[in-house]
Structure 1
Amino acid sequence: MIKKTKHSLKNFVRIAHLWLGFSSGIIVFIIAITGCIFVFQDEIKDNIYDWRFIEPQEKIFVGPATIFDTIKKKHPNSKPTMVVYHNKTRPAVVEIQIDNTPFNIHLNPFTGKIIHEQNLETDFFLVVERLHRFLLLPEKIGKQVTGIATLIFMVMLISGLILWWPKKLKGAAKHFKIKMNAKWRRKNYDWHRIIGFYLILPSTVIAITGLAFTYEWVNEGLFKIGNITNNKPTFKEPSSFKNIKSASDIALDTSLIETQNLIPESGMLFVWNRGNGEPIVTGSYPDALEFDHQSNFYFHPENGRLIATQYYNDKSPGTRLQEMNYGIHTGQYLNLFGKIMAFLTSLFIASLPVTGTLIWWGRKRKNKNKKISY
């Protein structure tokens, strides 16, 4: 009776696994393949775009006010609000809208001169990112489609583990390796089962961190998990200032200088004019193009006086976990090793819908041949 129940359970799981795969396989394949391409986007772009580098100079950076003014002169209808400064070998970057099209304006941070205007709608890697996150659909629709497919994929990891689980532990060793001297169908079957098993942990990490970009409840969940043992009070941003519509030029430039003085070794920082009397926010990172270990500072929008600090080490574990989410998802947090792991994990995930379909097709063909011979 127990054996019959176990057999019925596995049969149910097998059918569920099959139909879940049919419903999400092509989407999971697209998400995984585009993830592979996107992992090394910075390294590839650094080798093909010369405008991503500038000649370093022993000068201070021009202030945000000068950068914004330069952009407004060329694009009068634009409304630049944030500038990102990198190290001395990379241009500063400002995102604006030009005729309802998003552009990244790259400028020499020592002179304020525009060196490149990057159309974000036609940039190859950003198209890949939109395909990865939204399948090139409108964001509200696309993120739900990819989000649901990712949730189904996580359920399939569990059902796949149930199907993989050996009946007897004595012969479990064969469940951990691919039989390379077998026919291609057996090798494909082993690949699907065994690679799927080895992928459970890394693919779960990638899936959860990806879902944090789609669903606020997942992102909030990371915050709560990180803060389980934290007793620090939650940081509260300074209130806005009444009767101040936008930050002054002096305040913007002062916020840059003060942030550089507070963290001289910064590899990347931004200055953000949020307007409507909100404090100017700056962020400092240890390395260029790496979005973790962020420290934030808040300045008075009229005179640039420092009114609050939030160094990385003072942030709650939950906040730090949220901020390192991108680095974990892309492997960037563990540098080259992490990126290679993220690339391989994504590549192997992409293989699962393919090998799974081949297993289904092979069984269907086998059953069809049996009926014909009968």
Structure 2
Amino acid sequence: MTFKKISGKLHLWLGLASGLVVFVVSLTGAIFVFQDDIRDLTEPWRKVEVQATAPVLPSQLQAAALAKHPGIGAETTWVTYFGPERAATVFFTDKVGAPIQVYLNPYTGRVLHELDLRTHFFTIVQEIHMHLLLPEAVAKWVVGGGVSIFVLLLFTGLVLWWPKRKQERKQRFTIKWGARWRRVNYDLHNVLGFYAASIGLVLALSGLFMLYPWLLEPLVLAVDSGQPAPQEIMKTKLDTLQPATAVPQPLPDIVYRTARRLSPEHEMILLGPTGTGQDPAFCWTYQKALHYYHRDEYAFHPVSGQLLETRFHATKSAGTKLSDMNYDLHVGQILGFGGKIVAFLVSLICASLPVTGTIVWWGRRNKTRKKQPRLQAV
């Protein structure tokens, strides 16, 4: 059996096995690409009027957001400043386990809207995209396995697409719209699959990197020539035996002021939970709102507020910068709005491939069945 025939067998049976997963994951991914743009148009509480005054401190935002939720500790919340013209948010889990996101005016601390993410459309789409509404432990195998198979299908598909003769090349690059519908379907599967293969591979691999972060480590090492920079492998350690003096002001305020001072040009600031005092408090700043590539990172002592560690984007290795870029690559926004359009179209094509491929297989299967009675009659 030739290599091309082996590729054909693999492409057929692996495609049938993973088709439903690839269809759902690709379709929900296409919907999710423009979620920030759609939400900005449909959710007015995401935007605020820019004011000349400085934003209020995180402790004030936490107090306002938790006013209707007594018993929820401020130390368990995530606080995000999204930029001058955007509302700040406080995220936490309430007593019944519901994920709550509260939008506030960053200049006044006034609550603008409270959102239960369990019923939010794009949260549901994201959950389907990542877990197919399955338990996370099961979803990692189902989704991860389906997307991994899809990566292999892209390569076997290219093997099957590759023209044997020169006169076939033009046919492989164009769709014959005037032909019968079965031929059009065949061309849609082959031609669109070829054009979408490279971008589809990036989308699939970046998704797998989020699902299995350990897969990204060899790539990071390879980009860094096997020698990661010392600051990339440092782990923030907390000396619990060393006594620390508590500061009179809230820890989130200290973290925010320090991050704002050290990264003054960054629009977005994300403050993690301060916890119980056993682990460091973390903060991340981003150069552009809703973009997660250009990031500075900070770690603070949970009692004294002392700055323990910094990782500035400018000092990170090329491999770590590539790792930071992963989400923006996955949704296409690393290239701006045009990149989102490309990611959207390629995701739709990837969703169509299991459908057109199944139709090709079903047509050939029925064609073989029809031939058998004719041969028996002869």
* TM-score of the pair, normalised by structure 1: 0.91
What's the CA shift for 1:244?
6.1
1:95 maps to which residue? 91
Distance 1:150 1:62, change over 3 A: same
Is the partner of 2:231 in helix, strand or coil?
A: coil
Decide which of 239, 243, 246 is 2:237's aligned counterpart. 239
Choose which of 206, 222, 226 in structure 2 pairs with 1:225: 222
Distance change (3 Å), C-alpha of 1:73 and 1:115: same
Q: Taking every aligned residue pair, what percent have the same amino acid on both sides?
A: 38
Aligned to 2:148: 151
Other structure's SS at 1:121 match = helix
Q: CA deviation at 1:170?
A: 5.2
1:144-293 to structure 2, matched below 5 A, reads 144-169=141-166, 171-228=168-225, 230=227, 232-235=229-232, 236-242=234-240, 249-275=249-275, 276-293=277-294
- What is residue 359 of structure 1 aligned with on the other side? 360
AA of the residue aligned to 2:204:
A
Conserved in 2, the CA contact under 8 Å of 1:251 and 1:299? no
CA contact (8 A) 2:286 2:294 kept: yes
Alpha-carbon spacing, 1:248–1:287, altered in 2? closer, same or farther (3 Å): farther
Q: Would you say how many aligned residue pairs link Structure 1 and Structure 2?
A: 368
SS, match of residue 118 in structure 2: coil
What do residues 79-124 of structure 1 show as CA deviations (whole Å, max 9, x unaligned)?
3332111112211112111111111111222222222111111110
Residues 245 and 304 in structure 2, CA contact (< 8 A), matched pair in contact too = no
Provide the residue aligned with 1:44 in structure 2. 38
Letter in 2 for 1:239: K
Structure with larger RCO (C-alpha < 8 A, sep 6+): 2
CA separation of 1:24/1:244 partners in 2, compared to 1, >3 Å: closer, same or farther?
farther
Tell me, yes or no, if structure 1 residue 55 matches structure 2 residue 49.
yes
> Which residue of the partner structure matches residue 350 of structure 2?
349
Where does structure 1 lack aligned partners over 5 or more consecutive residues? Answer: none
The unaligned stretches of length 5 or more in structure 2 are none
Who is 1:65 aligned against? 59
SS in 2 for 1:304: coil
Amino acid at match of 2:12: L
5 Å-filtered alignment, 1:328-343, equals 328-343=329-344
TM superposition score normalised by structure 2 = 0.91
Greater mean alpha carbon deviation, residues 211-220 or residues 67-76: 67-76
Q: What letter is aligned with 2:49?
A: E
Q: Which letter does structure 1 place at the counterpart of 2:5?
A: N
Separation in 2, partners of 1:210, 1:55: 35
d(CA) in 2 for partners of 1:254 and 1:228?
Answer: 38
3-state secondary structure, aligned to 1:318: helix
Which moves more between the two structures, 279-288 or 35-44? 279-288
- Partner residue, 1:105: 102
